[in-house]
Structure 1
Amino acid sequence: MNLGKYITTLESPSVQAFLNLRNKVGWGEADVEMAKMSLKNSLFHVVIRDKSQVIGMARVVGDGFMYFYVQDVIVDPDYQKQGIGNGLMFEIEKYLSVVAKKGATVALLAAKGKEEFYARFGYTERPNDSLGNGMCKFI
């Protein structure tokens, strides 16, 4: 996907860039070592930069075979509404189209108000007639 002047790479952001983006969107602080190991153990990364500054990132975690989880789709608030989120999801969907075989499950937790964004990529809101509420637990 062409984002003009921005640079898209399929690599992990630095731990500091990841933590900075989390803070900018209000997700709070995270332990540096935990963030480092979490990034290291991801299946797939995509980063979008404005010159050398990371302005967006996303990743996929999971077992790499049956279960995939879209995680940390983050766009710097100063760069939102410019198609960067779409660019991140385009790369994730391209990756998933190769690795996720028939019978695999791809899941995510949408931030409140972002459900419509993910629906454009084929994700289904829960609950619905056949699926209950998605659930999570924060430690």
Structure 2
Amino acid sequence: MSFTKHYQAPNITDFMAIRNKVGWQNPAQSVVAKSLENSLFHICIEIDNTLVGYGRVVGDGAMYFYLLDIVVDPDFQSAGIGKSLMQEIERYLSKQITPGATVGLLAAHGKEAFYQQFGYQPRTGEPLGLGMCKFI
């Protein structure tokens, strides 16, 4: 299976559709557009001009970087697309981060092992705490 990569924000409709396919909800289209616009890095993977994988990095571009929306169309999971997304994100980060920077992500339940192969570790609560989220 061959796929194409590009490094611009995806079409908003395609982005919202792939999120829906994995059971994620979307805010208003205008909010999605602004969110994508404010991202530091995008990686899209397409097969036959159809978005089948996406990931992005947000943050301040210096001290803090967060991986978001790492998503693969369920019809194409287990085909190496997620790994390819992460390799591209890691390549971007390797050129941007400096000592002392923090790279974080919120892994979907059951996906922790996938991210551990790229060096991400669960927070155990010591010494920093488990972290917190506020969902609006």
Q: TM-score, normalised by structure 1?
A: 0.94
> Identity over aligned residues, as a percent?
51
**Residue 100 in structure 1 maps to residue 97 in structure 2:** yes
**Residue 54 in structure 1 maps to residue 51 in structure 2:** yes
Equivalent position of 1:119 in the other structure: 116
1:35 match: secondary structure: helix
- 1:31-68 C-alpha deviation (Å, 9 max, x unpaired): 10000000000000000000110000000000000000
Letter in 2 for 1:99: Q
Instruction: Please tell me whether the aligned partners of residues 110 and 118 of structure 1 are also in contact (alpha carbons under 8 angstroms).
Output: yes
**Residue 28 in structure 1 maps to residue 25 in structure 2:** yes
Letter in 2 for 1:52: N
1:94 match: secondary structure: helix
Equivalent position of 2:41 in the other structure: 44
1:97 shift after superposition: 0.2
Instruction: Please tell me whether the aligned partners of residues 15 and 35 of structure 1 are also in contact (alpha carbons under 8 angstroms).
Output: yes
Gaps of 5+ in 2: none
- Distance of 2:120 and 2:128 partners within structure 1: 13
1:77 shift after superposition: 0.4
- Distance of 1:67 and 1:53 partners within structure 2: 31
In angstroms, what is the RMSD of aligned CA positions? 1.0
- Distance of 2:117 and 2:38 partners within structure 1: 28
2:52 match: secondary structure: strand
The aligned length equals 136
Equivalent position of 2:63 in the other structure: 66
From 4, 15, 36, the counterpart of 1:7: 4
Equivalent position of 2:73 in the other structure: 76
- Distance of 2:26 and 2:36 partners within structure 1: 15
Instruction: Please tell me whether the aligned partners of residues 19 and 30 of structure 1 are also in contact (alpha carbons under 8 angstroms).
Output: no
- Distance of 2:51 and 2:102 partners within structure 1: 29
